[in-house]
Amino acid sequence: MNTLTFAGVLLVLSAIAYHLGRRRAYTVAGGELRKLHSLPSYYGLYTAIWCGLPALVLIGFWLAFENTLVTAMVVSDLPEALRSLPSERLNLVLNDLRNLAEGNIGPESVDPAIQAAAAHYNQLLQISHWAMAVVVLSVAMILGWYALTKVKPHQRARNAVEVVIKAFLILCASVAILTTLGIVLSVLFESLRFFTSVPPMEFLFGTVWSPQTALRADQVGSSGAFGAVPLFAGTMLISAIALLVAVPIGLLSAIYLSEYAHKKVRTIAKPLLEILAGIPTVVYGFFAALTVAPFVRDLGRSMGLEVSSESALAAGVVMGIMIIPFVSSLSDDVINAVPQSLRDGAYGLGATQAETIRKVIFPAALPGIVGGILLAASRAIGETMIVVMAAGLSANLTANPLEAVTTVTVQIVTLLTGDQEFDSPKTLAAFALGLALFAVTLVLNVIALHVVRKYREQYE
């Protein structure tokens, strides 16, 4: 019996248990449902959970340990010559054995001793499966029956069921949190490994970034320099350009949409603006690289400026367009959240619409708008694809937006793509950069959320 059909059988058993539990609840109530503590369906669920849940957990454990146990038993029965092999060789033998047992390779190429062991392995697995079936089904039935006997009018089935549901919800919630925690910790530990070969001070304050390290001792010219300042500077430069584009356009369009636009215009324009946020960043990337960057270069040339074909300006402008919806949508929301009574108050004093917006609505919405801008900024800092395609890879330390620069995210991509050895400072540097990036965006997000929340409390 394979595991899937087995789970199906268990499901059917639980369904039966549900039915029995419910019927039993009706019986013990003697037709007077109000005597029951919980609704009859809760007694059904209670029985079904007792029947299905422990059995399911048991299957999980069984499957987790079955392979280890069976393998250990097979190894102990192997001929002495095979058993005393070093552990790497033994693993190879076991690999062969499993492949043979599962029919992935034919028997002709394998040693007869291993063939025998494979047969033994299969037999043990078979036994284990049947044993599991018997044990689990009896556990399910016994516990189901036990739960059934506990169904009494005063028994608090609903509370018990709710405890199980709550535990399940907690489990789901912790998956996301634990995953995040795991990622942060793994990045942290890899960064610590990096900092054993490159001092943190050199990483944080060095001005030369050249991560090529020698793969072989006889290579020349690849000593590796890990000063991340040019990357941070490049990130700042591009994010600043992006915000310079996105904040005025986003804010003014939000003011237009929320205060001036006719209802019909608003219902069409707002979703259209939000579509900008749905365009894949790689599309923005080639738009930046193929259209905007050459345009900027030609424009610069016609004005007699030296512009490289990949420039911070091109990447920044396109990134700015990408984050316009963030700024405009969040600002629109906070402007709409300013109570109508404040508008009425200003109009009632004879303020014009422009005065009302400038002197009442905008100041009242300002904290929320700042929060939106910070969220947009953390998005800009973390953005990769546009910069990879439009801003180049050369780690120049410059404030000139017409030159090529590179960012933290771009360097992470280039460090980890292609064939790499995973213990050189070059690859480990990616984790350190990731950690720095994570720290910055985390701080920005925390500040932004704090500001936004503080603003919300003001009117509620």
Residue type, 258: S
CA distances from 245 to 249, 280, 386, 389 (A): 7, 19, 15, 19
The minimum distance between CB 375 and other proteins, in angstroms, equals 22
The minimum distance between CB 456 and other proteins, in angstroms, equals 13
Give 221 or 348: the residue with its C-beta nearer to other proteins: 348
The minimum distance between CB 167 and other proteins, in angstroms, equals 44
Give 97 or 346: the residue with its C-beta nearer to other proteins: 346
Contact flags string 431-460 toward other proteins, x per CB under 8 A:
---------------------------x--
The minimum distance between CB 254 and other proteins, in angstroms, equals 19
Q: Interface with other proteins includes 350 (CB under 8 A)?
A: yes
* Site residues (CB under 8 A) for other proteins, limited to 329-348: 339, 341-348
The minimum distance between CB 335 and other proteins, in angstroms, equals 14
Give 229 or 370: the residue with its C-beta nearer to other proteins: 370
Q: Interface with other proteins includes 264 (CB under 8 A)?
A: no
Locate the DSSP E strands across 173-222.
Answer: 209-210
Contact flags string 358-397 toward other proteins, x per CB under 8 A:
-xx--xx---------------------------------
Output 431-435 pairs: Cβ under 8 A, ≥24 positions apart.
431/187, 431/190, 431/191, 431/193, 431/194, 432/190, 432/191, 432/194, 432/195, 432/198, 432/203, 432/228, 433/228, 433/231, 433/408, 434/187, 434/191, 435/187, 435/188, 435/191
Give 200 or 345: the residue with its C-beta nearer to other proteins: 345
Give 162 or 355: the residue with its C-beta nearer to other proteins: 355
Total binding residues for other proteins by CB under 8 A?
20
Q: Interface with other proteins includes 351 (CB under 8 A)?
A: yes
CA distances from 307 to 45, 207, 287, 402 (A): 71, 23, 18, 5
Beta-carbon contacts of residue 401 (< 8 Å; ≥ 6 apart): 237, 241, 311, 312, 313, 316
Give 83 or 454: the residue with its C-beta nearer to other proteins: 454
The minimum distance between CB 342 and other proteins, in angstroms, equals 6
- Judge contact between 379 and 391, C-beta under 8 A: no
- Judge contact between 158 and 37, C-beta under 8 A: yes
Q: Interface with other proteins includes 67 (CB under 8 A)?
A: no
The residue range among 91-99, 163-171, 311-319, 352-360 that interacts with other proteins, by the rule CB under 8 A, is 352-360
The minimum distance between CB 338 and other proteins, in angstroms, equals 9
**In a 3-state reduction of DSSP, which class is residue 384?**
coil
The minimum distance between CB 460 and other proteins, in angstroms, equals 12
DSSP notation for 259-284: IIS-HHHHHHHHHHHHHHHHS-HHHH
Output 139-145 pairs: Cβ under 8 A, ≥24 positions apart.
139/54, 139/55, 139/58, 140/10, 140/13, 140/14, 140/51, 140/52, 140/54, 140/55, 141/13, 141/51, 143/50, 143/51, 143/54, 143/55, 144/13, 144/14, 144/17, 144/20, 144/47, 144/48, 144/50, 144/51
Interhelix angle 425-457/408-416, rounded to 10 degrees, is: 140
Near other proteins by CB under 8 A: residue from 355, 394, 413, 424: 355
**In a 3-state reduction of DSSP, which class is residue 209?**
strand
Residue type, 421: E
Q: Interface with other proteins includes 55 (CB under 8 A)?
A: no
Give 134 or 349: the residue with its C-beta nearer to other proteins: 349
The minimum distance between CB 47 and other proteins, in angstroms, equals 54
The minimum distance between CB 359 and other proteins, in angstroms, equals 7
Give 22 or 343: the residue with its C-beta nearer to other proteins: 343
The minimum distance between CB 345 and other proteins, in angstroms, equals 4
The strand pairing partners of 226, in sequence order, are 209
Give 367 or 434: the residue with its C-beta nearer to other proteins: 367
Contacting positions for other proteins (CB under 8 A): 263, 339, 341-352, 355, 359-360, 363-364, 458
